Amino acid sequence: MIIGTAGHIDHGKSALVQALTGTDPDRWAEEKARGMTIDIGFAFLGESIAFVDVPGHERFVKNMVTGAAAIDAAVLVVAADDGMMPQTREHLDILRMLQIPVGIVVISKIDLVDDEWLGMLRDELREWLRGSFLENQPVFAVSSRTGEGIAELQQYLLQMPQSLAERTTGDLFRMPIDRSFSVSGRGTIVTGSIVSGCVNAGDRVEIYPLQESVRVRGIESNHRQLETLGAGQRCALNLQGLPADAIGRGCSVAACDRFLVSRLLTCYLELLDAARMVAYNDTVRVHLGTGEYLAQVRWIGRDQLSAGEESVAQLLFREPVSAAFRERLILRSISPMHTIGGGVVLDVQPERLRKKDVNRIRSLVKMREAPVSAWIAARFAENRGKRITPDSLAQRFSLSDEKVRGILGQLQDDGKIVAVAEGYVAQTGLERIAEQIRQQLKAFHHEHPILSGMRKADLAARLNSDTRLMEHVLQGMLGSQEIHMQGGKIRLIAFRARRNHSDQKILTQLETEIRESGFTPPSLEDLSLQLDLDQEVFQEYVTVLVESKRIVIPEKGIVFHIDTIQRGSEHIRQYLGEKGSATVSELKELLGTSRKWALPLLNFYDRQGLTYRKGDRRFLQN
């Protein structure tokens, strides 16, 4: 478990950590010289607790947020002689908006006040904490100087880990990086608090948002080398594959290919009661993980947000960031630099929403506290005709493959989704595609009553779903005998091509024309002119004859009757049977035609398996 300090400058946070752990968390010479914490510091209590000590100075709130972003519990320190001060309030706001689940209050420096004063402060504190997440939490009174109350506090903290609820964060490994440096002989070291999942020595992991893959050479925590380490631990990783100076605060190290990088995030934001109004397109400072960024706020459904209000917004960052689903964030104003609000990331891969997209956000607002399985079910419902892969869900909701599989399995058992190819699709989506296919076929039959069915490719072009889904639905419709499929043509089972008397007459005329012209047939174009038919209609008659195997089109525009083809193959078989081989000229003579028809015809016979070509001669295939 990671415990973070919080509280106003000089209220005794670092002294308290030292009294509890024996370690001075102020690491830097400058900190020691000025008696002030500047950056986050660390210390350990026993095996199970790591402290992240943060600065109280108003100029270093940024570092306070960096430290607080990944803690499991907070200790809000209030100096007995000073009482609540500006950063006591600001830090409490930050802890609340980061939704730190557990916290306690420590009144420090009690050696400087008398009991009466202390009693008054306790009453004041109780009043002030009413309604906050610390309201019903214990208040300890200690002196780091005399040691009074320290042992009790220590005892309380040591038993706290067991009482902590199981972490609600995902199970993918992720650690926002708060330090990166290189150690000679070992290379790049990054440190941070693991917020979810666990890491093993030898793992391949990825640095975000750089999207560089690196290998974990070694893991260290509290000066011990470990093989594996998980959420709620301070962690130092020795990485291979990237120099330390390429990595900094704002980067995170996490499971490969599972987090997305984007300049746009859809969030649910709230403004503090004391904050100034934030207008559409205003730029704010956003603290996300250990990073601090500038972003424009695009409210959805409103022009501005006033103090104390909350709303969905899209944050457009100046640079790409990598966030996790449901990651908390803090908003600060640019100048003066004040904490003005916070929020939660709801979509790490959003489309750009328009200000007026109120409908779209209604579901987001409704869903924001819902379990992730409900989010996944909603995604299927929203993308009814689309196949969704487990990988894309893992990325969108920052989940491990196992967790995604579990949720998908449940939805499948409930009959809500169906597995198709490597993805899944909403059951209702399949029904909708089936309905579209029915409509398309019906319309096709109506428009082309003489054709035996619709080509699959034409059907695919008219549906806006991918072909794997269409194929899946078609198979189902075949199984239920709703459609019939033959030679790549699909028809509704009840449909029969209808040819009336005049159709039949034209077909006969066309066929006769082609048959009688033998090896020197007119082109399709000439035939259509001759019959004086609309191109599209003419094409349908041709298709009918091709499908009923009356004519053959060996090459675009050229057509032979099946009897001619048959006759030609008999002549050639006999001729080559005697001669062994023949040139195009000989065969052209044999069939009584010219090159224009002979070449397509001979190529057709090659494809049919009658003949083959070698050099300029043709031979019989066996």
Ligand X SMILES: Nc1nc2c(ncn2[C@@H]2O[C@H](COP(=O)(O)OP(=O)(O)OP(=O)(O)O)[C@@H](O)[C@H]2O)c(=O)[nH]1
Query: Residues in the site for ligand X, rule: CB under 6 A?
Result: 9-15, 35-37, 55-57, 108-109, 111-112, 143-145
Decide whether 13 or 174 has the Cβ nearer to ligand X.
13
Decide whether 58 or 310 has the Cβ nearer to Mg ion.
58
Size of residue set near Mg ion by CB under 5 A: 3
- Nearest distance from residue 61's CB to ligand X, in Å? 11
Closest CA to 6 of 62, 58, 64: 64
Nearest 10 degrees: CA dihedral of 332, 336, 337, 341?
Answer: -30
Q: Name the pairing type of β-strands 558-561 and 252-255.
A: unpaired
Decide whether 5 or 593 has the Cβ nearer to Mg ion.
5
Q: Which residues of 585-602 are buried (b: 16+ CB within 10 A; e: fewer)?
A: eebbebbebeeebbebbb
Nearest 10 degrees: CA dihedral of 108, 111, 113, 114?
Answer: 120
Peptide bond into 336 cis (omega under 30): yes
Residues contacting residue 122 through CB under 8 Å, at least 6 positions apart: 107, 139, 141
- Nearest distance from residue 55's CB to Mg ion, in Å? 6
611 touching Mg ion, by CB under 5 A = no
- What distance in Å separates the CA atoms of residue 568 and residue 296, rounded to the nearest whole number? 76
SS3 188: strand
- Nearest distance from residue 77's CB to Mg ion, in Å? 9
Residue nearest to ligand X (CB): 56
Q: Name the pairing type of β-strands 212-221 and 204-208.
A: antiparallel
599 binds, among Mg ion, ligand X, none (CB under 5 to 8 A by kind): none
Strand partners, 117: none
Decide whether 75 or 527 has the Cβ nearer to Mg ion.
75
- What distance in Å separates the CA atoms of residue 128 and residue 135, rounded to the nearest whole number? 9
Six-digit token string for 329: 């964030």
Please return the burial class of 160, using the count of CB atoms within 10 Å of its CB with bins 0-12, 13-18 and 19+: middle
Decide whether 13 or 96 has the Cβ nearer to Mg ion.
13
Residue nearest to Mg ion (CB): 37
Helix axes 562-579, 584-591, angle to 10 degrees: 130
249 binds, among ligand X, Mg ion, none (CB under 5 to 8 A by kind): none
Contact yes or no for 229/235 (Cβ under 8 A)? yes
- Nearest distance from residue 69's CB to Mg ion, in Å? 18
Among 7, 14, 340, 417, binds Mg ion (CB under 5 A): 14
- Nearest distance from residue 105's CB to ligand X, in Å? 14
DSSP state of 354: P
- Nearest distance from residue 13's CB to Mg ion, in Å? 5
- What distance in Å separates the CA atoms of residue 349 and residue 392, rounded to the nearest whole number? 10
* Residue 557: C-alpha distances to residues 38, 337, 602 (Å): 83, 76, 16
Contact yes or no for 7/35 (Cβ under 8 A)? no
- Nearest distance from residue 274's CB to ligand X, in Å? 21
- Nearest distance from residue 207's CB to Mg ion, in Å? 30
311 binds, among Mg ion, ligand X, none (CB under 5 to 8 A by kind): none
144 binds, among Mg ion, ligand X, none (CB under 5 to 8 A by kind): ligand X
Decide whether 51 or 575 has the Cβ nearer to Mg ion.
51
- Nearest distance from residue 68's CB to Mg ion, in Å? 14
436 binds, among Mg ion, ligand X, none (CB under 5 to 8 A by kind): none
Decide whether 37 or 188 has the Cβ nearer to Mg ion.
37
- Nearest distance from residue 56's CB to Mg ion, in Å? 6
Six-digit token string for 69: 């972003």
145 binds, among Mg ion, ligand X, none (CB under 5 to 8 A by kind): ligand X
485 binds, among Mg ion, ligand X, none (CB under 5 to 8 A by kind): none
Site for Mg ion in 15-74 (CB under 5 A): 37
Q: State the DSSP string of 71-128.
A: -SEEEEEEETTT-S-HHHHHHHHHHHHTT-SEEEEEEE-GGGS-HHHHHHHHHHHHHH
Q: Name the pairing type of β-strands 204-208 and 198-200.
A: unpaired
Six-digit token string for 458: 């034409």
Six-digit token string for 595: 């090159």
CA angle 18, 23, 28 (to 5 degrees): 100
Decide whether 36 or 584 has the Cβ nearer to ligand X.
36
Decide whether 13 or 387 has the Cβ nearer to Mg ion.
13
Decide whether 109 or 618 has the Cβ nearer to ligand X.
109
- Nearest distance from residue 342's CB to Mg ion, in Å? 23
- Nearest distance from residue 85's CB to ligand X, in Å? 11
Decide whether 11 or 448 has the Cβ nearer to ligand X.
11
169 binds, among Mg ion, ligand X, none (CB under 5 to 8 A by kind): none
R_g of the chain computed on alpha carbons: 38
Decide whether 146 or 383 has the Cβ nearer to ligand X.
146
Helix (H) or strand (E) holding 420: strand 417-420
Q: Which residues bind Mg ion (CB under 5 A)?
A: 13-14, 37
